[in-house]
Amino acid sequence: MTDTVTGTPQPAAPRPFGLLAELTYRCPLACAYCSNPIELARYDDELDTAEWQRVFTEAADLGVLQCHLSGGEPLLRRDLPELVRTANELGMYTNLVTSAIGLSRSRAAGLRDAGLDHVQVSVQADEPATSDRIAGIRSFERKVAACRLVRELGWPLTVNVVLHRQNIDRVAAILDLVEELQADRVELANTQYYGWAWKNRTALLPSREQLDRAEEVVTAARERLRGRMEVVHVLPDYYSRYPKPCMGGWAERQLTVAPDGDALPCPAAQTLPLPRASVREASLAAIWTEHPLFTAYRGDSWMQDPCRTCDRKDLDLGGCRCQAFQLTGDAAATDPVCHLSPAHDLVEAAVETANRPGPVDVELVPRLRHL
């Protein structure tokens, strides 16, 4: 097989194991760090029930084992139980990624009966005032009640907290809350700067001092909670010496399908200047194995120096293509978070701004509530 963008021979496509099904970008929250696209109205023509069921069937045939049902807010889809049942019957492990707004007892019971395996609830902070301010609506008490309902109904519970300048100093209290909620897992994931988060980067990027304090708290919590709760802490790319191996490699292990049927190697790839791939126009197998969007950066033949000759290229895989394009305009460039990148000064400048003395005098731009 030959890459239709670079013209270079490509190895046979690997088999994906994870599907992120972004069922809708509609959402009652207005989080300023949201990674959903800015132009939300473009995705209003959502796949219907039958189309999603076909996507799930094709994904299972490709080898997908995990189906993550996300958004936006997937609970806004009335057919959610039907979609869960389909994925369950196809043998996929189903995970609901939700704000929990709308997770009533009757709705939860219906999802449990449909075979839902796991629930991941987003929480913005540890107490109502901060949480509601970040979320853009009064939601904290409903989130806490939903977490308790999840545990009552016997589901494994993951609590996801996106960390940033506005809440990272509360990480100890956040961990106390998550422990009280008896979560099995907590993801403390520093903001990734795409979508709305990119617009708000200056107001969201924490200082080095904030990160160091948080890391100390998390390290102690891991020891204290060992064997009771898994604590995952994802540091911000901008403070890393080397980039993360984004998505485990471009179109290597996971794929995303957006509400309108766009198929993507990662959730932010719609920003790249590559041909659009749609499940309404081609099978998932054809898209995964041969579409230019999926083959463009698979493997390492596309790499430029310093990645091409770097002894770490099989470890970090060149970093994030979407971040490289966003910062440099060249999706094949070395991810600028890498200290070896010729464009690393772009990241250094953002970090320098985040570490200036005094408050950051920038207002957050909330995500548009799109219902």
What digits encode the pLDDT tens for the residues 289-317?
999 999 999 999 999 999 999 999 999 99
Whether pLDDT at 11 is above 90: no
365 occurs within a structural domain: no
Structural domain containing residue 258: 246-355
Specify whether 36 is located in the same domain as 139: yes
Helix axes of 140-152 and 105-114: crossing angle, nearest 10 degrees: 40
pLDDT of residue 369: 73
Q: Are residues 283 and 225 part of one domain?
A: no
Kindly give the residue spans of alpha helices, DSSP state H, lying in 251-302.
284-290, 292-295
Instruction: Based on the fold, state whether residues 321 and 235 are members of the same structural domain.
Output: no
Q: Is residue 102 pLDDT above 60, yes or no?
A: yes
Q: d(Cα 354, Cα 206) in Å, to the nearest integer?
A: 6
Tens digits of residue pLDDT in 147-185: 999 999 999 999 999 999 999 999 999 999 999 999 999
Number of domains forming the structure of the chain = 2
Whole-number percent of the chain with pLDDT over 90:
88
Asked if residue 90 belongs to a domain, the reply is: yes
**Worst-scoring range by mean pLDDT, 13-27, 116-130, 208-222, 348-362?**
348-362
Residue 246 has a pLDDT of 83
Q: Stretch 205-233: mean pLDDT, rounded?
A: 96
Q: Which residues pair with 187 in a beta bridge?
A: 160, 232
pLDDT at 370 over 80: no
First to last CA, the chain: 43
Q: Is residue 193 part of a domain?
A: yes
Same domain for 211 and 118: yes
pLDDT the model gives residue 360: 76
**The pLDDT of residue 8:** 54
End position of a domain, from candidates 222, 239, 256: 239
- Kindly state whether residue 369 falls inside one of the protein's structural domains: no
Closest CA to 108 of 84, 125, 131: 84
CA distance 80 to 224: 37
Boundary-marking domain end, from 187, 222, 239: 239
| Whether residue 202 sits in one domain with residue 122 | yes
Note whether 161 and 62 are same-domain residues: yes
| Same-domain pairing of 26 and 158 | yes
Q: Enumerate the known binding-site residues for [4Fe-4S] cluster.
A: 27, 31, 34
For residues 16-30, average pLDDT: 96
CB 318 within 8 A of CB 243: yes
d(CA 110, CA 99): 18
Judge if 169 and 29 occupy the same domain. Answer: yes
- Domain identity same for 253 and 302: yes
Residue 166 sits in the same domain as residue 305: no
Nearest to 240 by CA among 117, 322, 350: 350
Query: Is 9 inside any structural domain?
Result: no
CATH of the domain at 223: 3.20.20.70
Q: Is 113 left (phi over 0), alpha (psi -120 to 50) or beta?
A: alpha
- Residue 212 and residue 256 in one domain: no
| Residue 331's pLDDT band (cuts 50, 70, 90) | very high
Q: Tell me if 20 sits within 8 A of 52, measured CB to CB.
A: no
Q: Is 97 helix (H, G, I), strand (E, B) or coil?
A: strand
**Residue with the two structure tokens 């999802």:** 111
Return mean pLDDT, the chain: 93
Mean pLDDT of the region 30-51: 93
pLDDT at 1: 46
Which of 194, 220, 239 marks a domain boundary?
A: 239
- 361 lies in some domain: no
Question: Which residue ranges are tagged as binding site?
Answer: 27, 31, 34
In a domain, 317, yes or no: yes
In 3D space, the residue among 6, 54, 24 whose CA is nearest the CA of residue 301 turns out to be 6
**Residue range 333-357: average pLDDT?**
96
Query: Are both 148 and 256 inside the same structural domain?
Result: no
Residue 282 lies in a domain: yes
